[in-house]
Structure 1
């Protein structure tokens, strides 16, 4: 049995479905579908040189990789390599081949520092260290049972604050882009990100097939969104918040908690049964909000880095 690595074919449904299936088996805490795999591959910024790779054995996709330059960081030369192998198809060389192909792609583009998220399990850590990746910041995946769990009481909306959904900005999403760009600057992590390209944000984020415009919720003050929670849904009863944040001038008022709580109430009313989110392990304010909401840690991953040369 021979394992080969090739490009994901976005126009072949069997490819994107297999890609999504492996990702779901290995990382069930992140929403991923065939449509989202196709969207990320075909709508990523050209400067990212994004590639989706698959490891195939006897016609079966047994491993996946997403590989790109971090084009929206002020620090050049950074790339990421995220590899996941079907849990029942390990020790066949798929991970090794995916890492090799990913690194060849990024080094040819001039990358000098490679980042990779690794699930905090002994086999995964050992694999990463074997290829020169060193552990860094941990992050947690959290799960909330919306079907059987209990949400805290719904907070009242303060005077002067209005809650709106992303659907309310359909004619002009730019205020949400500006809010996203402001809050991502303060997001804890190893890589600094700056959103400066509105058109790219529209293609990649606003038009993402999993973005739920009815459940994405913003707190608006004086006509401008100042806090929000970004909601993804997969059509199978699962919900995930991709970002929750508040601009600096309005922090300390509980507006992010307000937006997220109202979004979760509406998600439950819409039939959503599971909610997921992720937190940098050092983001104490957001961890406290999620604990108050009833989220529980279900897995941990660790950011690894390999410095080339």
Structure 2
């Protein structure tokens, strides 16, 4: 039996998504959403998905590219996942080697990889020259049975809207998303400066639910929001919850997220997922308040290219 690594093909979308779901069940991924990611990747991202194949069967995947929206040049990433029942066949190492050679060729000087926090996975990363850095937590809420905080009367100066209310002009949400992203703790700094890229990669993404995304508006402008994604089944996730700097400390992020959670449950979603950098104390406290429980941890690993 021989393992080979090759470029992703459109026909691989189902298998690619399935491996991601098995290896990382806490993040929403569908064949449609991944095919969309590939088709709409920014050219400066040099995005190159790879698959490992054994006797015609997909057994591993890698998402490889450059963080083009970072002010720091040369920040590359490779996130490798192998089918849990097809490990120790050399697929992971071959994917890593192929990804590293490609990233070096397109100008990467530092490589980042998320690694699920298990002894075997961390040992694999260290064996390939990666050192542990920041950690992040995946959290789950049993939305079907959770006791959500009750809805409370809104402060006089704010109103609740949905993402769908901004369908004609989402630029105010772009500005809010950019401001909150800039303050997210991370090994790689990101800046949203390209509105058209944000429209393609975020606003029009097939998993994003405009209807379940909640927006708190104050003084006529979006002040806080909770962006929601769904998998088209029973799983719902919040991918960004944040507040404009001028409005922090008022509980508006809680207000937005609570509204989204209530409406997601009413729409029939039974599981809620989210993720937080381990250093993001305020957001971790909010999620604990809602009843989310940690279900897994990922550790960001980094390797400098000589």
TM range (shorter): over 0.9
- Tell me the residue number matched to 2:71: 74
- Tell me the residue number matched to 1:241: 238
- Tell me the residue number matched to 1:191: 188
Per the TM alignment, residue 156 of structure 1 is displaced from its structure 2 partner at its CA by 2.5
- Tell me the residue number matched to 1:160: 157
Determine the C-alpha separation between the residues in 2 that align with 1:217 and 1:52: 32
Show CA shifts across 1:58-95 (max 9, x none): 11111010001010000001110100000000000100
Aligned-residue RMSD, C-alpha: 0.7
Determine the C-alpha separation between the residues in 2 that align with 1:219 and 1:119: 34
- Tell me the residue number matched to 1:125: 122
Determine the C-alpha separation between the residues in 2 that align with 1:226 and 1:150: 26
Match of 1:255 among 252, 255, 258: 252
- Tell me the residue number matched to 2:262: 265
The alignment of Structure 1 onto Structure 2 pairs a total of residues equal to 306
- Tell me the residue number matched to 1:5: 5
- Gapped regions of structure 1 (runs ≥ 5): none
Determine the C-alpha separation between the residues in 1 that align with 2:253 and 2:145: 24
Determine the C-alpha separation between the residues in 1 that align with 2:70 and 2:221: 26
Show CA shifts across 1:214-250 (max 9, x none): 0011100122101101100001100011101011100
With normalisation by structure 2, the TM-score equals 0.99
- Tell me the residue number matched to 1:46: 43
Determine the C-alpha separation between the residues in 2 that align with 1:75 and 1:133: 20
Determine the C-alpha separation between the residues in 1 that align with 2:252 and 2:66: 34
Q: Would you say 1:180 and 2:177 are equivalent positions? A: yes
Per the TM alignment, residue 255 of structure 1 is displaced from its structure 2 partner at its CA by 0.4
- Tell me the residue number matched to 2:296: 299
Per the TM alignment, residue 9 of structure 1 is displaced from its structure 2 partner at its CA by 1.1
Show CA shifts across 1:246-266 (max 9, x none): 111000000011000000000
With normalisation by structure 1, the TM-score equals 0.98
Within 5 A, what are the aligned runs for 1:64-143? 64-143=61-140
- Gapped regions of structure 2 (runs ≥ 5): none
Determine the C-alpha separation between the residues in 1 that align with 2:79 and 2:171: 30
Show CA shifts across 1:178-230 (max 9, x none): 11111101001111100000001101111100000100111001221011011
**Shift >4 Å, 4+ stretches:** none
Could you say what secondary structure the match of 2:262 adopts?
Answer: helix
Determine the C-alpha separation between the residues in 2 that align with 1:197 and 1:90: 39
- Tell me the residue number matched to 1:287: 284
Show CA shifts across 1:107-155 (max 9, x none): 0011110000000000000000000000011110000001122112223
